[in-house]
């Protein structure tokens, strides 16, 4: 796999991330794919596992080769991290989204990195570790899927009826929330549940899904979970809203972006929010 975007700061970041991808793939082959299924309750009761920490170490080790000054906020770090010696960029990363899936041997977990500069996210990178597929986008330059043998421009599907939609959702909590999901469950064309929001959003960008819905208050998705996938989705033609139908934006890299749980309705087109709401 190779960098796709020509701007110097993004190109250099991509080079580092594709080196990280090689190490993450080795870690998957040597460790994640063959984890024992014992003591899972102990793992599930821990907010940070050794596997999250190792994925973060791999990413940070590769990113240490960059010379652009970058401030990093990571889901699995207690403080900001500074790298490089010139420039002014910020990264928001989630080293392992879908940790429980990885522990269970369910092939739905990612590493994601979002680059912020000025007043917006300008680059997003989501690595589907078990399938060895990268979803990526640069602001104004489109979204792409890249495997070891192909590069494909991403475009969302355009549907206009719920009975044509392929949806995914996060399990709701209250009776009223369950009713919303229940109505969609029996109206949609297909239902798929991956329990990895960054991947589910990218699958909308790829035209595999049309919606990912979390109406459980206060919601589960934080900016660190979805920032990279958000840019990928928008560059492919999709849109994101909260549970009330208002446009949702990921926060800039910050301590708050690691904790800002909220509802989420990610869609293949903005027009679909009228149907969902």
Residue 43's pLDDT band (cuts 50, 70, 90): low
Helix, strand or coil for residue 44?
helix
* 200 contacts 209 by C-beta, under 8 angstroms: yes
Mean pLDDT of the residues in the chain: 90
* Per-residue model confidence (pLDDT) at position 81: 78
Which is higher by pLDDT, 260 or 171? 260
Backbone phi and psi for residue 60, each to the nearest 5 degrees, phi listed first: -65, -35
DSSP sequence for 194-226: -S-HHHHHHHHHTTS-SEEEE-STT-SB-HHHH
| Nearest one of 75, 78, 87 to 13, comparing CA atoms | 87
**Percent of the chain whose pLDDT exceeds 90:** 69
Residue 37's pLDDT band (cuts 50, 70, 90): low
Which is higher by pLDDT, 62 or 78? 62
In CATH terms, the superfamily for domain 8-153 is: Fructose-1,6-Bisphosphatase, subunit A, domain 1 (3.30.540.10)
| Nearest one of 276, 277, 81 to 161, comparing CA atoms | 276
**Residues 84-129 pLDDT 10s:** 555 589 999 999 999 989 988 899 999 999 999 989 999 999 999 9
* Distance from C-alpha of 106 to C-alpha of 130, rounded to nearest angstrom: 9
* Per-residue model confidence (pLDDT) at position 197: 95
pLDDT at 46 over 70: no
Residue 166's pLDDT band (cuts 50, 70, 90): very high
* Per-residue model confidence (pLDDT) at position 39: 54
98 backbone φψ class: left, alpha, beta (φ>0; ψ -120 to 50): left
Number of other CB atoms surrounding residue 48 within 10 Å: 14
* Per-residue model confidence (pLDDT) at position 73: 93
Helix, strand or coil for residue 11?
helix
Least confident of 80-94, 115-129, 148-162, 207-221: 80-94
pLDDT at 24 over 90: yes
* Per-residue model confidence (pLDDT) at position 180: 84
Alpha carbon distances (Å) from 162 to 68, 146, 159, 183, 277: 46, 30, 8, 10, 12
* Per-residue model confidence (pLDDT) at position 72: 92
CATH topology identical between 8-153 and 162-276: no
Most distant CA pair in the chain: distance in Å?
A: 55
* Per-residue model confidence (pLDDT) at position 118: 87
Residue 44's pLDDT band (cuts 50, 70, 90): low
Give the strand order in the sheet containing 81-83.
Answer: 81-83, 68-74, 86-97, 110-117, 120-128, 133-138, 142-146, 151-153
Which is higher by pLDDT, 240 or 118? 240
Q: Which residue has the tokens 């909220």?
A: 262
Radius of gyration of the chain (CA): 18
Number of other CB atoms surrounding residue 32 within 10 Å: 23
* 133 contacts 66 by C-beta, under 8 angstroms: no
Q: Mean pLDDT throughout 246-250?
A: 95
The CATH architecture of the domain made up of 162-276 is 3-Layer(aba) Sandwich (3.40)
Residue 65's pLDDT band (cuts 50, 70, 90): confident
* Per-residue model confidence (pLDDT) at position 41: 57
Which is higher by pLDDT, 70 or 165? 165
Give me the residue spans of the domains in the chain: 8-153, 162-276
């Amino acid at each position: 796999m190779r960098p796709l975007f020509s701007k110097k700061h993004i190109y250099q970041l991509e080079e580092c991330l594709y080196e990280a991808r090689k190490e993450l793939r080795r870690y998957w082959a040597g460790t994640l794919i063959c984890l024992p299924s014992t003591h899972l309750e102990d793992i599930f009761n821990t907010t940070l596992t050794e596997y999250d920490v190792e994925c973060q170490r791999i990413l940070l080790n590769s990113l240490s080769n960059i010379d652009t000054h970058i401030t990093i906020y990571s889901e699995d770090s207690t403080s900001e991290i500074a790298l490089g010696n010139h420039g002014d960029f910020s990264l928001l990363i989630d080293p392992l989204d879908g940790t429980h899936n990885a522990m269970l041997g369910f092939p739905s977990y990612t590493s994601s990195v979002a680059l912020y500069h000025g007043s917006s996210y300008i680059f997003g990178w989501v690595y589907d570790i078990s399938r060895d597929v990268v979803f990526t986008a640069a602001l104004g330059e489109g979204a792409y899927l890249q495997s070891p043998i192909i590069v494909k421009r991403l475009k969302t599907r355009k549907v206009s009826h719920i009975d044509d939609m392929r949806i995914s959702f996060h399990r709701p909590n209250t009776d009223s929330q369950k009713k919303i999901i229940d109505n969609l469950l029996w109206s949609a064309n297909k239902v798929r549940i991956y329990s990895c929001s960054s991947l589910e959003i990218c699958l909308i960008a790829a035209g595999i899904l049309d919606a990912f819905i979390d109406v459980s208050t206060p919601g589960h998705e934080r900016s660190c979970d979805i920032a990279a996938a958000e840019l990928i989705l928008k560059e492919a033609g999709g849109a994101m809203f909260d549970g009330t139908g208002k446009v949702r934006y990921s926060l800039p890299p910050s301590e708050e972006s690691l904790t800002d749980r909220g509802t989420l309705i990610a869609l293949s087109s903005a027009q679909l929010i009228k149907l969902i709401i």
